[in-house]
């Protein structure tokens, strides 16, 4: 698995495609990255730029953003449920064993 790149680096690479008009395959070869990765970074960059240009559309979320938030909320809920079960078991143990 490759290294994670910083957001600043991703933005720099995306600007090479979007602002400078360079080809993804060319930049990918130079930076030793996959062209598909660079294209994804460029698409994310374009989306951010579009949101900044149209603040009225800021309230609308993409399906992928909604899915990510839902998945994150489900994960947090599952963790909380597990914590509650552990606390219930601990409470039963302490209620049986008076000090």
pLDDT in tens, 27-83: 889 989 999 999 999 999 998 888 887 766 555 667 888 888 999 999 999 999 999
Both tokens of 94, joined, read: 């302490």
Number of domains in the chain: 2
Q: Are 56 and 15 in the same domain? A: yes
Q: Are 49 and 87 in the same domain? A: no
Residue the block writes with tokens 């552990």: 86
Residue span of the structural domain in which 45 resides: 1-60
CA distance 34 to 28: 6
Question: With 0-12 CB in 10 A as exposed, 13-18 as middle and 19+ as buried, what is 33?
Answer: middle
Which residues of 25-98 form beta strands (DSSP E)? none
Query: pTM of this prediction?
Result: 0.53
């Amino acid at each position: 698995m490759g290294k994670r790149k910083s957001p600043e680096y991703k933005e720099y690479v995306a600007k090479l495609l979007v602002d400078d008009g360079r080809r993804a395959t060319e930049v990918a070869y130079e930076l030793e990255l996959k062209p598909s990765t660079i294209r994804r970074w460029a698409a994310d960059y374009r989306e951010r730029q579009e949101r900044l240009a149209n603040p009225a559309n800021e309230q609308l979320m993409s399906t992928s953003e909604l899915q990510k938030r839902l998945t994150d909320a489900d994960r947090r809920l599952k963790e909380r449920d597990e914590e509650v079960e552990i606390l219930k078991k601990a409470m039963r143990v302490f209620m049986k064993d008076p000090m």
